[in-house]
Amino acid sequence: MRITFITTSYTRYPGDVIAPFVKSIAQGLVTLGNDIEVVAPYDLEVDTTTPEDIKVHRFRYIWPKQWHIMGHARSMHSDRQLRPAAFFLLPLFLVFSTLSLWKVVTKNKSQLIYAHWILPNGLPAAIVAMIKKIPLAVSLHGSDVYLAKANPIFRFVARSIIRRADILTACSEEMYQDAIDLGAEEKIHLLAWGADPDRFKPDQSSLDLTSTQDRSKNKIIFSSLGRMVHKKGFHLLLQAMSELIKKVPTAHLKIGGEGPLRSVLLDEVKKLGLEEHVSLPGRIPWDQVPNFLQSSDVFVLPSIMDEQGNVDGLPTVLLEAMSTGKPVIASRIGGIPLVIEDNINGLIFEAGNVQSLTNRMTQLIDDLALRESLGQAARKSVFDKFNWKQVCISLQTLFTDAIS
């Protein structure tokens, strides 16, 4: 199949941590024999010196170039609301993305358009698909559905796109139901994301990002990783850590990532007196994520629904941690229950409940055998089911049915 992606975020340089899953899906579909081209917005951090293994068409929509803030986690403040400049840029973005998509689809003789995030990419995708009379597939990821629910104009646009789409996928039960409420009906498919078990695997010889001296005096090292915004729930993890060290003073936590709340979290670490127990190393380049995950004992994903009602779909870092064979603790929210079976391949706690999280962390400190069994089961579930090959096989089946 000849498929054209349209996305607001796509890997800009080696090690980029913004939406690497979109590239993983593109590469997986190529491996299955499909011809994939990608339409994505220009960004100041795009590396034009490193050749792409998939053809990417970067469009510009404003001059000067430093005004390109649409996509790549730049257009929303703390993932909660659009920046004022985004409203000004949105019409230009839609016009130039539609023109770029039109050119690529025409030249490539694409058989299907695949849009990531129904807003804003679904609109140009729907227009071009309608004119070209080819199928349209849309994957929902979380922030797009949040915007559709929060703004009546965006909700109307999302409904219109859904009516035109042939296929929609959601990576959580909540998004699945939201799509049905917007009129998706039988078009929507529940599809959990995956990880690459060949890239994310147990490796005892991996580089330990915690020094040998620190590692030797810590009974257990917890890790977490993600963009530092409200819905990630890192502030709750710090509170749980504050309670945990009262019982286990040798425990350590490292939270990787960057974002608008990093300075707030650093202040919280000081306020709680956790300087000796918590480290925030900043951005972890994509090629170092396996090492970061391998160098801890337990991975924690404390996701919440923030005060604005925004929530993650299914963070792929959870699946990556599972793939490395680490026991995981995650909140019961979003798409997490799709991949975690409590006490089988991970532990679930009630989202936003600090005591519930603390209890789960304590449980794994006290039970080495449970840590080992959960880690082995987590790795097996990714290897057997939640991997990009299986995701892309499912997508290809849907796409083939839509084209035929």
| pLDDT score, position 170 | 96
Q: 247 and 227: one domain?
A: yes
pLDDT tens for the chain, 404 residues: list them.
999 999 999 999 999 999 999 999 999 999 999 999 999 999 999 998 988 889 999 999 999 999 999 999 888 776 667 888 999 999 999 999 999 999 999 999 999 999 999 999 999 999 999 999 999 999 999 888 888 988 999 999 999 999 999 999 999 999 999 999 999 988 999 999 999 999 999 975 544 444 433 444 557 999 999 999 999 999 999 999 999 999 999 999 999 999 999 999 999 999 999 999 999 999 999 999 999 999 999 999 999 998 888 889 999 999 999 999 999 999 999 999 999 999 999 999 999 999 999 999 999 998 999 999 999 999 999 999 999 999 999 999 999 999 98
User: Is residue 392 domain-resident?
Assistant: yes
| pLDDT score, position 209 | 41
Q: 284 and 160: one domain?
A: no
Q: 396 and 367: one domain?
A: no
Q: 179 and 284: one domain?
A: no
User: Is residue 153 domain-resident?
Assistant: yes
Q: 12 and 24: one domain?
A: yes
Q: 176 and 217: one domain?
A: no
Q: 144 and 285: one domain?
A: no
- Beta-carbon count within 10 A of 288 CB: 16
| pLDDT score, position 83 | 86
Cα(404)–Cα(399) distance, rounded to whole angstroms?
A: 9
| pLDDT score, position 150 | 87
Q: Are 154 and 147 in contact (CB under 8 A)?
A: yes
User: Is residue 204 domain-resident?
Assistant: no
Residues in the chain: 404
User: Is residue 207 domain-resident?
Assistant: no
| pLDDT score, position 215 | 45
| pLDDT score, position 203 | 76
**In total, how many domains does the chain have?**
2
Q: 97 and 164: one domain?
A: yes
User: Is residue 155 domain-resident?
Assistant: yes
| pLDDT score, position 208 | 44
| pLDDT score, position 309 | 85
Helices 152-164 & 143-150, crossing angle to 10 degrees? 120
| pLDDT score, position 138 | 98
User: Is residue 123 domain-resident?
Assistant: yes
User: Is residue 205 domain-resident?
Assistant: no
What CATH number corresponds to the domain at position 131? 3.40.50.2000
Which value, to the nearest 10 degrees, does the dihedral of the CA atoms of residues 112, 118, 120, 125 take? 20
pTM of the entire predicted model: 0.93
Question: What is the domain extent for residue 102?
Answer: 2-194+388-403
Q: 339 and 300: one domain?
A: yes
Q: 393 and 302: one domain?
A: no
- Beta-carbon count within 10 A of 153 CB: 9
Q: 101 and 226: one domain?
A: no
And the tokens for 389?
């090959």
User: Is residue 199 domain-resident?
Assistant: no
Question: How far is CA 396 from each of CA 34, 35, 40, 114, 391, rounded to the nearest angstrom?
Answer: 9, 12, 21, 11, 9
Q: 279 and 130: one domain?
A: no
